[in-house]
Amino acid sequence: MAKTITERADILPRLAEIFREYGYEGASLAIIGARTGLGKGSLYHFFPGGKEEMAAAVIDEIGQWFEHRIYEPLRNSADPQAALMSMCDDVSAYFHSGRRICLIGAFALDNVRDRFAARVNDYFAAWRSALADALQRRGDTASRAETLSEDTLIAIQGALVLARALDQPELFQRSMDRIRADLSAQAT
Amino acid sequence: MAKTITERADILPRLAEIFREYGYEGASLAIIGARTGLGKGSLYHFFPGGKEEMAAAVIDEIGQWFEHRIYEPLRNSADPQAALMSMCDDVSAYFHSGRRICLIGAFALDNVRDRFAARVNDYFAAWRSALADALQRRGDTASRAETLSEDTLIAIQGALVLARALDQPELFQRSMDRIRADLSAQAT
DNA sequence: TCAAGATTGTACCGATTAGTACAGGGCTGG
DNA sequence: CCAGCCCTGTACTAATCGGTACAATCTTGA
């Protein structure tokens, strides 16, 4: 049979888009096969654990992307305030200015939540903690950093839900602008 | 066969809980039958349109509950500020202090979104508009009312996502407290 | 009391599901 | 040049999916 020289890592982004579009249950192997161009043989070769392993791998890859691009700079950048602004830009770009949903957030509301609960938890916990770290490093009190990091994540997730529900991506943009402003305000 | 004197309206709350727990696709007719105690015969008697009609009826009922309990007071109450505070209480109770998710929000992120897009849109649009109405009636400018109503809905939905993702219902409570405070702040 | 309509359990349907088995082609190291 | 491993298409399974059909029973109005 034909060999397609595909790496496991190469199909992860495509898998992510599929899960975003159809959800975990809605993404049938037939759809996955059609959209990735891979047959069942290949899919189960790369992911012996089936759909569950595919979704887990996708979540892990997303987590790593955020770790390198968002969390790590928030924790280690010499200029925490700049890292905060950079986070806003990257997040806005990542979610395609509100046209793309957060797969992890969607999984959190889904019935498959229990299956990936640990990963979902880790994703948000790491984000919140990195955010609070940057806020404290820039001078916020621990309590203020706690509240502001929580509110920021809430606003991002809520804006994604509402933008999708109302079919108004610009709503997400507007919310990100407000988040940027809140993160720019002088610390207490 | 046995007659169970069940009204269509009586099973809607139970259906709502099932959809909340399993999602639209995850709620199979087998599960629905088991959890409602109704056989397929009864289910298709009450909902000839099948699962789709069940979900639509559930969304409509939720919409009506919010209309009577939340939107209507926001629009018509003599004391708009009191209606705002009352909304916070009712919303907090409705979502079981963060232990219950918003079915409409979950549907918005789900792949069944397109099927119920109009209803999902209506739910949030009505809420936002009623909220903005109360804010203007209490003295906020149109622009301020627009922003604040949007931010309030974003915070509620985001808090529900995050509380569920982190398995911390108290996070929702904290966020609701902040929302209450923001809605209490003097208008500009 | 009894006919008519409302309600319900059960058997069944074709389609689709995730997953398995495996043969065979393609690539690569020796 | 070829043995062996990596990759992949196909056929298959058992289970479950949403939905239909219908006969049997129950309730109700006359």
* The predicted structure's pLDDT at residue A8: 86
| A25, A109, A159 member nearest B154 (Cβ) | A159
* The predicted structure's pLDDT at residue B7: 81
Please give the mean pLDDT across all residues of chain A: 95
Tokens of A108: 């959190």
Alpha carbon of A51 to those of A13, A36, A47, A119, A132: distances in Å?
15, 13, 8, 16, 34
Q: Which residues sit close to strand D, CB under 7 Å?
A: A 1-6, 38-42, 45-46; B 1-3, 5, 25, 27-31, 40-41, 44, 48, 50-52
Tokens of B162: 């995050």
Domains, chain A, ranges and CATH? 58-184 (1.10.357.10)
Mean pLDDT of B35-49: 96
Would an 8 Å CB–CB cutoff place B161 in contact with chain A?
Answer: yes
Q: Among A87-101, B1-15, B82-96, B102-116, name the one with the lowest average pLDDT.
A: B1-15
**Which chain A residues touch B174 with a CB distance below 8 Å?**
150
Q: Does A121 contact B22 at a Cβ distance shorter than 8 Å?
A: no
CA nearest neighbour of A168 among B125, B173, B127: B125
In this complex, the answer to whether residue B185 has its CB under 7 A from any atom of chain C, a nucleic strand, is no
Burial of B156 (0-12, 13-18, 19+ CB in 10 A): buried
Contacts with A, B 37-96, CB within 8 Å = none
pLDDT in tens, B88-138: 999 999 999 999 999 999 999 999 999 999 999 999 999 999 999 999 999
* The predicted structure's pLDDT at residue B4: 57
CA of residue B1 to C1' of nucleotide C6, angstroms: 12
pLDDT higher than 70, residue A2: no
* The predicted structure's pLDDT at residue B89: 98
CA atoms within 13 A on the CB side of B169: 9
pLDDT higher than 80, residue A121: yes
Q: How confident is the model at residue A129 (pLDDT cuts 50, 70, 90)?
A: very high
How far apart (Å, rounded) are the C-alpha atoms in residues B8 and B29? Answer: 16
Q: How confident is the model at residue B186 (pLDDT cuts 50, 70, 90)?
A: low
* The predicted structure's pLDDT at residue A1: 47
Please give the mean pLDDT across all residues of chain B: 95
Using a 7 Å cut-off to protein CB atoms, list the covered nucleotides of chain C.
7-11, 16-27
- Amino acid making up residue B23: G
Would an 8 Å CB–CB cutoff place A126 in contact with chain B?
Answer: no
* The predicted structure's pLDDT at residue A51: 97
pLDDT in tens, A23-66: 999 999 999 999 999 999 999 999 999 999 999 999 999 999 99
CA nearest neighbour of A72 among A86, A54, A58, A92: A86
* The predicted structure's pLDDT at residue A64: 97
Would an 8 Å CB–CB cutoff place A146 in contact with chain B?
Answer: no
pLDDT higher than 50, residue B57: yes
* The predicted structure's pLDDT at residue B1: 46
* The predicted structure's pLDDT at residue A4: 58
Give the CA dihedral B149, B86, B161, A70, nearest 10 degrees.
50
Mutate to test the interface with B, among A166, A168, A173 (most CBs of B within 10 A): A166
Q: What percent of chain A has pLDDT over 70?
A: 96
